Amino acid sequence: MLSVEEIEQRLELLRIEHRDLDCAIGALSQLSQPDQLQLARMKKRKLRLRDEITFLENSLIPDIIA
């Protein structure tokens, strides 16, 4: 199990990578003949990052028993 500090560090790295991928996807999309396979792979990677970010964010929220 990761500590809160380790989770927060991992989240920051994932957010940076997600933001960088977003910029790269935008730049690649602007080309006259973008590589569709590369675009698809980048988008898929971005979605996986988003899922991992969401999972880690949820792990920081304490369970509340109602």
* pLDDT at position 50: 98
Residue 63 forms part of a structural domain: no
The rounded distance, in Å, linking the Cα atoms of 61 and 66 is 15
Residue 28 forms part of a structural domain: yes
Question: Each residue's pLDDT tens digit in the chain (66 positions)?
Answer: 789 999 999 999 999 999 999 999 999 999 999 999 999 999 999 999 999 999 999 999 887 776
Q: Tokens 């999309």 belong to which residue? A: 29
Residue 66 forms part of a structural domain: no
Hey, what are 49's tokens?
A: 């990052």
Domain count within the chain: 1
Residue-range definition of the domain harbouring residue 28 = 4-57
* pLDDT at position 36: 96
* pLDDT at position 66: 63
Residue 65 forms part of a structural domain: no
Residue 18 forms part of a structural domain: yes
Residue 62 forms part of a structural domain: no
Q: Look up the pTM and report it.
A: 0.87
Judge whether 18 and 53 are in contact, CB under 8 Å. yes
Q: Tokens 């977003």 belong to which residue? A: 22
Residue 49 burial class via C-beta count within 10 angstroms: exposed 0-12, middle 13-18, buried 19 and up: buried
